[in-house]
Structure 1
Amino acid sequence: MSPIGVSGPELVIGTDTAYVALLRPEIDPAEPGVVIAARQAGVTPEEFAGPGNIWALMIDVEGEGDGFELPGARDIEADDFAEQLQRALAAGEPFTAEAGNFLRLDARPSGDSWVVTAHVTPPEGHDGAAAQALELGPLPAAELLADLEEFRRDLV
Structure 2
Amino acid sequence: MIRKVEGPALMIGSLTAFVILDRPKLDPADPGVREAAERAGVSPEEFAGPGDVWNLFWEDEHGEGDGFELPGLRDAEAEHFAEQLRLALGSGEPFTIEAGPVLSLAARPAGADGHAFTAHVTPPEGEDMDPVTLDLGALPTADLLADIQDFQRSLA
Question: What interval of TM-score do these two structures reach, taking the shorter chain for normalisation?
Answer: over 0.9
Q: Which residue of 2 aligns with 1:24?
A: 23
Q: Does 1:85 align with 2:85?
A: yes
What TM-score, normalized to structure 1?
0.92
1:74 aligned residue: 74
Alignment of 1:5-154 (within 5 A): 5-61=4-60, 62-111=62-111, 112-127=113-128, 129-154=129-154
| Counterpart Cα distance in 2 of 1:96 and 1:40 | 43
CA-CA distance at 1:140 after TM superposition: 0.8
Report deviation, 1:137: 1.3
Q: Does the residue aligned with 2:137 lie in a helix, a strand or coil?
A: coil
- The CA distance in 2 between the partners of 1:37 and 1:68, in whole Å, is 19
AA aligned opposite 2:17:
A
Q: Which residues of structure 1 form unaligned runs of 5+?
A: none
- CA offset at residue 3 of structure 1? 4.7
Show CA shifts across 1:54-107 (max 9, x none).
111001123222000111111111001000000010111111111111101110
Q: Is the contact made by 1:6 and 1:25 (CA closer than 8 Å) also made in structure 2?
A: yes
Instruction: Return the offset for 1:49.
Output: 1.5
Q: 49-58 vs 145-154, which deviates more? A: 49-58
Provide, for residues 91-145 of structure 1, a one-character-per-residue CA deviation record: whole Å limited to 9, x for no partner.
Answer: 1111111111110111001111110000111000102x11111000111111110
C-alpha distance in 1 between matches for 2:130 and 2:11: 21
The one-letter code of the counterpart of 2:30 is E
- Post-superposition offset of 1:32: 3.0
Does structure 2 conserve the Cα–Cα contact (< 8 Å) formed by 1:9 and 1:155?
A: yes
Structure 2 residue matching 1:138: 3-state secondary structure:
strand
> Segments of 4+ in structure 1 off by > 6 A?
none
Q: Report if aligned partners of 1:105, 1:118 keep a CA contact under 8 Å in 2.
A: yes
Contact 1:20/1:60 (<8 A) preserved: yes
